[in-house]
Amino acid sequence: MTASQLYTKIYTLQPALLNEVNDFIDFLKSKQKVKPKLKERKFGCAKGQIIMHPDFDEPLEDFKDYM
């Protein structure tokens, strides 16, 4: 639908309905607000913050009954 077709339809509406169209357009504009862009993440920014213990891959004692 083109802008001129929309204008023609709106032009033929009664004044009471024009207020509803105006409110609906404001509602649609409020939904369209752009969300702020997140900061760009850089590779390796968490280096040194996560530690893997040497026994990470060892079986857990709690599960010895199931093995």
Question: What's the one-letter identity of residue 29?
Answer: K
Gap between the Cα atoms of 15 and 22, Å rounded: 11
Q: In the prediction, which pLDDT does 23 show?
A: 92
Name, in order, each residue with C-beta under 8 angstroms of 43's C-beta and a sequence gap of 6 or more: none
Q: In the prediction, which pLDDT does 65 show?
A: 85
Give pTM, 2 decimals: 0.44
Give me Rg for the CA atoms of the chain: 30
Name, in order, each residue with C-beta under 8 angstroms of 67's C-beta and a sequence gap of 6 or more: 59
Are 21 and 10 contacting, i.e. CB atoms less than 8 angstroms apart? yes
| Domain locations along the chain | 1-30
Q: In the prediction, which pLDDT does 24 show?
A: 92
pLDDT digits (tens, 9 = 90+) for 11-66: 898 988 999 999 999 999 888 877 778 888 889 888 889 888 898 888 888 888 88
Q: In the prediction, which pLDDT does 19 show?
A: 92
Does residue 9 register a pLDDT over 80? Answer: yes
Look up residue 18 and give its two tokens: 């024009």
